[in-house]
Structure 1
């Protein structure tokens, strides 16, 4: 950047100067921290640009016409500051915590994204984004290729094209074990659930809509064949609301009875649109459609005697499920 101060007030210098002033305001200030006129002139000098106070003041006024969040304070503590940003500090903290807690990202990927997020904050707020979020250690090793997989899936969704990929699982040896053949499917939705991405797609080998965990997909390729249309009458919102932990299965209609203290967890699971039907002063019941009974039963078990299945055939299946657990874990004494 040396030599720019030799350009006097050339158009090139004027354009660069106003751009660097805005950069300085973005990096050095926020609603709680300002920078003085002398401070701006010193920062410009670091970029090889010399400027007089009058010229800098005129540039700031021009910037204020573009961005009303640039304000100035007059008097003894006169300074300039950028009071609003694309993302507020609370929003950036939320995004940073989401990145930090992701089980899908490697440590290197997390740091790359966090560095970019800090770029949306001034240097003072960026320090707060460096706080350490305590995350329980998970027993998985993220796949660094998952970003590339997601990019291809998004392209397939946009172009409504089929994809081909290898699918694997982990077994006792903790190594990847690939399924016998490559999968070909028609992608419909990319869903974030339980800290993982899942692809909802039509899988012709099973003749129905199924879910694939994205970090278990490998060598994903976009095909030229168009997607098979969603099955007639298929309701994506209803489907996503009926699955537990992204396990599929046949639909089952079930009536559930809960103690009123469980209203919160029920809303968390089924959404605020679920209808609560009062039974008495302390209980209510709901009617829902679920898939994968075993994962549904696992979710229900945490509530103990405060949750009850009223649908006879599902109630019996739940009792059998509990008996099978007791057979392995029951008191033998």
Structure 2
């Protein structure tokens, strides 16, 4: 009998958690019917007793008092608007496969009532880029994160594409030995930045092109002074060996883009009523020049001369 009473409380908690919210309370009679469907016969007094136990354990059960009291779960770990935000993030992420997105959204739905879970069936319409098909990415990121926290090296293979779109392992399946320092989310892709034993310098790899990732017993290579946020702002995800101070001549309406890229601490000076200049430290590489091109002349390179010349050469290629 004692075990049945304990099981009854657990079933009551699961029922309230899965079926109730402020718009869908249940009555004592509803609870008794639920217990009866599970082979548990009890009285109204048992309902009141078990609800008191759950409240004493910290479960937020709200009672709507009337001729027939109704009950529902109040505060939850996540409120419905928070779950909607999480679902939108999962649905729109190009890092997470369609299958894994579905699995995660179903799990998020278990954190609220069944009625509210129906509102999580949302579809975010993206700008045409497909989700990946590689289910292993999810676990590769986990391995990389674990190696960062434990300061251990990883090994992996890296693949590229032939003109026929066939995947092939780079350097005939060479296994890279690598100390990861940070995972960076850039342009809807994950990149891992760290020390490459092959290149003997700071390098980066796109996570969705890594395969056969394994954590090694060897401790990671120590690199003092590495700052992920600074790396993203200055290097633009490509060539970290050639940082230079570059002066940009900008129209006023691109200030928000300058701040988005370089942060609010970026050095700027007013030039005239319509222009300002920004002094930034960057790697003058094709990604940087490509970023400049997107503004169609609203951002121009003033100095140094060698960077201006590289920009002209890139324009001539186009």
| TM-score normalized by the length of structure 2 | 0.90
Secondary structure of the equivalent of 1:95? helix
Alignment of 1:31-50 (within 5 A): 31-50=22-41
- For 2:268 and 2:11, the matched residues in 1 are separated by 58
Match in the other structure for 2:229: 237
Residue segments in structure 1 that go unaligned for 5+ positions in a row: 1-9, 326-333
- For 2:204 and 2:106, the matched residues in 1 are separated by 33
Alignment of 1:178-197 (within 5 A): 178-180=169-171, 181-197=174-190
| Residue 265 of structure 1: how far off its partner (Å) | 2.4
1:309 aligns with 2:296: no
- For 1:283 and 1:154, the matched residues in 2 are separated by 43
Match in the other structure for 2:102: 111
Match in the other structure for 1:205: 198
Conserved in 2, the CA contact under 8 Å of 1:27 and 1:122?
yes
- For 1:265 and 1:90, the matched residues in 2 are separated by 29
| Residue 93 of structure 1: how far off its partner (Å) | 1.5
Taking structure 1 as reference, are residues 45 and 174 closer, same or farther at Cα in structure 2, changes over 3 Å only? same
- For 1:18 and 1:74, the matched residues in 2 are separated by 21
Taking structure 1 as reference, are residues 292 and 63 closer, same or farther at Cα in structure 2, changes over 3 Å only? farther
Per-residue deviation, residues 103-134 of structure 1 (Å, max 9, x unmatched): 23332222111111111121111111112222
Secondary structure of the equivalent of 2:42? coil
- For 2:276 and 2:24, the matched residues in 1 are separated by 53
| Residue 275 of structure 1: how far off its partner (Å) | 4.6
1:271 to 257, 263, 267: 263
Match in the other structure for 1:176: 167
1:80 aligns with 2:71: yes
- For 2:80 and 2:204, the matched residues in 1 are separated by 36
Match in the other structure for 1:322: 315
- For 2:314 and 2:250, the matched residues in 1 are separated by 19
Per-residue deviation, residues 217-275 of structure 1 (Å, max 9, x unmatched): 11112212111101x3433331122232x323422222223323223322322234435
| TM-score normalized by the length of structure 1 | 0.86
Match in the other structure for 2:243: 251
Alignment of 1:85-164 (within 5 A): 85-138=76-129, 141-164=132-155
The size of the alignment, in residue pairs, is: 314
| Residue 155 of structure 1: how far off its partner (Å) | 2.5
2:53 to 62, 68, 71: 62
Match in the other structure for 1:227: 220
- For 2:37 and 2:22, the matched residues in 1 are separated by 24
Q: CA RMSD in A?
A: 2.2
| Residue 173 of structure 1: how far off its partner (Å) | 1.0
- For 1:108 and 1:140, the matched residues in 2 are separated by 10
- For 2:11 and 2:264, the matched residues in 1 are separated by 48
Secondary structure of the equivalent of 2:271? strand
- For 2:275 and 2:74, the matched residues in 1 are separated by 50
Conserved in 2, the CA contact under 8 Å of 1:103 and 1:142?
no
| Residue 43 of structure 1: how far off its partner (Å) | 1.9
1:300 to 292, 298, 301: 292
- For 1:268 and 1:301, the matched residues in 2 are separated by 16
Match in the other structure for 1:291: 283
Taking structure 1 as reference, are residues 237 and 135 closer, same or farther at Cα in structure 2, changes over 3 Å only? closer
Taking structure 1 as reference, are residues 89 and 260 closer, same or farther at Cα in structure 2, changes over 3 Å only? farther
